[in-house]
Amino acid sequence: MSIHARIGALASASVLVLLASRASAEDAAASSHRDRVALGGDVHVRRGERVRDAVAMGGDLTVEGVVEGSAVAMGGDVRVSGSGEVLGDVTAMGGALVVEPGGHVAGARVELGGPGPVARGPRATSLPAVPGGRAADRWFWASAARSAAQWALLFVLGLVLLGFAPERLDGTTHAVLRRPLPALVTGVLVAVGAVTATLVLVLTVLGIPAAIVLALAAVAGGYLGLAVSARAIGGVLPFAVLRDRPAGQLAAGVASLFVASFVPGLGDAIVVGSALVGLGAVWLTRFGRTGSACTAAGSGPYRSAIGV
């Protein structure tokens, strides 16, 4: 699963919990085909039941029926049984995510602070069953188109930063090029701290609103980190046509990360690492407010104002 799918699922889960926290758990559980919500308790979607979204805050979530939207557990486990079906994303924050044989999850599987998603049995899958032939080809190209659209949104974010904060973006990018290892370490520490603080706030129940804000800030920080790293990558590519063209460098960097994301076994690591390095650089420079300013153009034919 791509990093964008993980970030998107986490963002959806955060918004969903914000909306769910306003609802009454008893009212939501009273009837089928509505949201199923529990604050400080478990949620059980039984066989034959069909609900829109299922949210358990401070408890476990068990799906034996159908969840048309997202299934989210904060501070508990998520279990999709053999008869269970989730048409959206499944997110477990601070617990395990288990899909039993026959269980079906159409969207992304995201787990934070647990042992990792577990698919028990050969029939468990996080993607719709796809037949061979033309149907498989259509599914592949549809998935590729969705992924390309997500990366295009990252490019748009970078363009916004170039338009409204070009000096800060260049200053942060310079930190990525000059101090990649400290930036990576800082990014890891910031990410771990954000996840830990979010889980602690969720478990206190009263801190759920703050946890939602922190989770959304972490999602935004991940995208910002990717945009910064993409700008840095594009700025050091050995193509003279990119010289002194910030938008072109950004596009080249985003394209490079997009291609790298398809590398088997390494794609996610490359993208996540890039996001963490960029996030660390943002933290170290307070998004370009502190640290060294951009140097003059480098000695190579492709260096620009972010030259190393």
Is residue 3's pLDDT more than 60? no
What confidence score (pLDDT) does residue 138 get? 60
pLDDT at 15: 47
pLDDT per residue as tens digits for the range 250-273: 999 999 988 888 888 788 889 889
For residues 152 and 17, which has the higher predicted lDDT (pLDDT)?
A: 152
What is the rounded CA–CA span in Å between residue 262 and residue 102? 28
User: 38 has which bridge partners?
Assistant: 56
Q: What is the mean pLDDT of residues 237-258?
A: 88
Instruction: Give the chain's radius of gyration (CA, Å).
Output: 21
Of 41-55, 58-72, 195-209, least confident by mean pLDDT is: 195-209
pLDDT over 50 (residue 303):
no
- Mean pLDDT, residues 157-176: 89
Lowest mean pLDDT among 48-52, 58-62, 108-112, 176-180: 108-112
pLDDT: is 150 or 188 the higher one? 188
Whether residue 300 has pLDDT greater than 70:
no
210 contact partners, CB below 8 Å, separation of at least 6? 201
Instruction: Return the beta strands (E) in the chain as ranges.
Output: 36-39, 43-45, 50-51, 54-57, 61-63, 66-67, 71-74, 78-80, 85-86, 90-93, 97-99, 104-105, 109-112, 118-119
Strand order through the sheet with 109-112: 36-39, 54-57, 71-74, 90-93, 109-112
pLDDT category, 244, cuts 50, 70, 90?
confident
DSSP annotation of 165: -
Structure confidence at residue 26 (pLDDT): 42
At 74 the pLDDT is 77
Residue 131 has pLDDT above 60, yes or no: no
* 36-50, 81-95, 121-135, 256-270: least confident range: 121-135
Per-residue pLDDT reduced to its tens digit, 223-235: 899 999 999 999 8
The whole-number average pLDDT for the span 196-220 is: 81
Q: Do 84 and 68 meet the contact criterion of CB atoms below 8 Å apart?
A: no
pLDDT band per the 50, 70, 90 thresholds, residue 25: very low
Decide if 280 contacts 190 (C-beta within 8 A). Answer: yes
Phi-psi category of residue 64: left, alpha or beta, with phi > 0 → left and psi -120 to 50 → alpha: alpha
When pLDDT is averaged across residues 192-211 and rounded to a whole number, the result is 81
Per-chain mean pLDDT for the chain: 76
Helix or strand or coil: residue 27?
helix
